[in-house]
Amino acid sequence: MRKQIAAANWKMNLTYQQGAELLKTILSADISLNENQIALFAVPFPYLELANDTVHQKKNYYAAAQNCSDKKSGAYTGEISAEMLKSLDVPYCLVGHSERREYFGETNEILSGKVAICLTYGLTPVFCCGEALKIRDQNAQNSFVEQQLRESLFHLSAEQILNVVIAYEPIWAIGTGKTASTAQAQEMHAFIRSVLQKQFGKEVAGQISILYGGSVKANNAKELFACPDVDGGLVGGASLVASDFMEIIRALK
Ligand code: PGA
């Protein structure tokens, strides 16, 4: 059975002290995860060690980076490499969040390099995809997302793709309070799985976790996660509130 994942994406929010408090509150709550459930905390780089130390004691809770460089090492001032993350024992890394694509010019090609370098160093990339409102209005979301997957993931082998998590995040739903309907989410997730199936085979596609992101809240998580092809969520705003994110973890299948 594929993993069900509740992933917090703090983005560029919270001071170190606020982050420490938030993690402490969530981790001290009595939410035990079963074999198939995972809680992730994608925190700012300077907090990774703290997050790793805090989640250490609890089963299936992990820290994640929000980004990494597509370069191995060298003269790239301000960048963070996959190898550095691995040396801190960080197991997961978000790749290609729409904010990275939009504000930092990350293309499908650059992201294919980031996915590859994460896998080289044994990090699990959480690869984000999703369309803007303009594309959805033209009903072109399927071909758009398929191209993102093709150009960033299809260089992988079936064995490698099994170590990738996918997050579908329609840009029009991120931070807007406008969540995709369960029908819209399920439809796109099933489509993504069908694209993966064509490339990597049915058995492999059936094992890949596909998270939904975009205004996941404590009051809609259960309904979204109940969709057969939705394997949890990538959560921004609601992950900054301990009680909300705890509720979202509890909503995992
Ligand atoms: P949101 O963000 O939950 O605030 O919509 C989701 C994300 O960008 O990962």
CATH number of 177's domain: 3.20.20.70
Kindly state the average pLDDT of the residues 207-211: 98
Closest-CA residue to 151 (of 111, 120, 201, 116): 111
Cβ 169 under 6 angstroms from ligand 1: yes
pLDDT value at position 180? 85
Residue 210 in 3-state DSSP? strand
pLDDT category of residue 174 using cuts at 50, 70 and 90: confident
Separation of alpha carbons 94 and 166, rounded Å: 9
Local confidence band at 24 (pLDDT 50, 70, 90 cut-offs)? very high
CB of 237 within 6 A of ligand 1: the answer is yes
Q: What is the pLDDT of residues 230-252, one digit of tens each?
A: 999 999 999 999 999 999 999 99
What's the pLDDT band for 15 if we cut at 50, 70, 90? very high
Residue 48: other Cβ atoms inside 10 A = 22
CA 51 to centroid of ligand 1, rounded, Å: 20
Do the beta carbons of residue 86 and residue 148 sit within 8 Å? no
Give the rounded distance of the alpha carbon of 30 from its chain centre. Answer: 24
Residue 223: active-site member: no
For 140, the domain range is 4-250
CA distance 227 to 118: 29
Residue 173 CA: nearest ligand 1 atom is 5
User: How do residues 37-56 score in pLDDT, each as one tens digit?
Assistant: 999 999 999 999 999 999 98
Contact 228 CB / ligand 1 (< 6 Å): no
CB-ligand 1 contact for 170 (6 Å cutoff): no
Predicted confidence (pLDDT) at residue 177 exceeds the cutoff of 90 = no
97, 99, 106, 189: the active-site residue: 97
The total number of structural domains in the chain stands at: 1
Average pLDDT of the segment spanning 191-210: 98
Atom from ligand 1 closest to the CA of residue 9: 9
What is d(CA 1, CA 9) in angstroms, rounded to the nearest whole number? 25
152 pLDDT tier (thresholds 50, 70, 90): very high
